[in-house]
């Protein structure tokens, strides 16, 4: 497994990460154990979760119970800021909230430190300096090694990084945002801002909710248990006519070049130096095997350029 650094930190992660949003929800404890153990066996070192995943806490709890002595072998990333109760604010990155949230996550994860602690969504009601000072304190206390943000705009990221320079605080090293062959809008503003600041990108939904796995067909029912069989995730921007047309063209490239759709999706992402790790969820150990294998069989630069042009 190849590794890359998280931004300008000294933390290295596997180029294939494990998204843990299914744990405690779509995946029960036994299923989670099978996926986690397979990921560890294959050299996956980045495990990305959030306090809210798994019906508010179960994903972290499952990981805390399953990792045991292997905790030291991985980079554990989690997030805060989305409400953990029906009465909480929709977003909260205030100092008081952060200090309560980190202790709760540490307890569920059964660990003394979090490698990458991420703001799940920007909080417009809290000054960004308050958020960053709290996170800086957690790093000074040894409870957090590095910090990142998720779903920030280019302007919000730039303001945050400017504050860290002015106030001499720890800066974000990563951004986590949706990015795939079928979802490229962050290329306009966010990625250029990240490049100027030296941050790494951790793309989520890299397979467009499974549309880039090759298992879906136009005008056919989704496979049983698949993400898009859940109407909540069956959003029009995923299963749009535009995307189906692109899928057909990508399938043609895959057939002609001998690559799978997975290999095209992972290869296109990993051809970008700004990406540290491709965070892909899994509900079965076979999916981890497929993801790792796909990332190791990279398409040529010419093929990458061709699929880039198709989906630009």
d(CA 68, CA 282): 20
How far CA 21 is from CA of 25, 204, 262, in Å, comes to 8, 11, 20
Both structure tokens of 248? 């057909």
Both structure tokens of 308? 């880039």
What is the DSSP annotation of 242-279? HHHHHHHHHHHHHHHHT--HHHHHHHHHHTSTTB--EE
Cα 281 to the center of its chain, rounded Å: 9
Are 108 and 62 a contacting pair, CB within 8 Å? no
d(CA 194, CA 13): 19
**53, HSE (Cβ side, Cα atoms, 13 Å):** 27
Single out the catalytic residue among 53, 97, 204, 216: 53
Is 117 catalytic? The answer is no
Are 178 and 21 a contacting pair, CB within 8 Å? no
Short-list 175, 223, 228, 225, CA closest to 199: 175
Active site residues: 53
């Amino acid at each position: 497994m190849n590794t890359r650094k998280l931004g300008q930190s000294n933390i290295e992660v596997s180029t294939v990460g494990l998204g843990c949003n299914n744990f405690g929800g779509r995946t029960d404890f036994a299923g989670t154990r099978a996926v986690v153990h397979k990921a560890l066996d294959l050299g996956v070192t980045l495990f990305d979760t959030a306090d809210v995943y798994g019906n508010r806490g179960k994903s972290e709890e499952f990981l805390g119970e399953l990792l045991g002595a292997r905790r030291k072998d991985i980079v554990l990333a989690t997030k805060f800021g989305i409400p953990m109760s029906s009465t909480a604010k929709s977003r909260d990155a205030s100092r008081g909230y952060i200090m309560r949230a980190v202790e709760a996550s540490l307890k569920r994860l059964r660990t003394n430190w979090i490698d990458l602690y991420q703001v799940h969504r920007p909080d417009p009601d809290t000054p960004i300096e308050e958020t960053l000072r709290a996170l800086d304190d957690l790093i000074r206390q040894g409870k957090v090694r590095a910090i990142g943000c998720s779903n920030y705009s280019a302007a919000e990221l730039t303001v945050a990084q400017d504050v860290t320079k002015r106030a001499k605080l720890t800066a974000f090293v990563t951004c986590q945002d949706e990015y795939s062959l079928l979802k490229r809008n962050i290329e306009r503003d966010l990625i250029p801002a990240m490049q100027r600041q030296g941050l790494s990108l951790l793309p989520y939904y890299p397979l467009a909710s499974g549309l880039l796995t090759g298992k879906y067909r136009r005008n056919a029912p989704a496979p049983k248990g698949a993400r898009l069989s859940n109407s909540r995730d069956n959003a029009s921007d995923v299963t749009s006519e535009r995307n189906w047309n692109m899928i057909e063209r990508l399938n043609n490239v895959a057939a002609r070049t001998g690559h799978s759709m997975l290999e095209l999706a992972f290869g296109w992402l990993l051809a970008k130096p700004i990406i540290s790790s491709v965070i892909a969820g899994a509900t079965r150990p076979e999916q981890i095997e497929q993801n790792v294998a796909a990332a190791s069989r990279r398409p040529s630069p010419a093929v990458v350029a061709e699929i880039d042009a198709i989906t630009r």
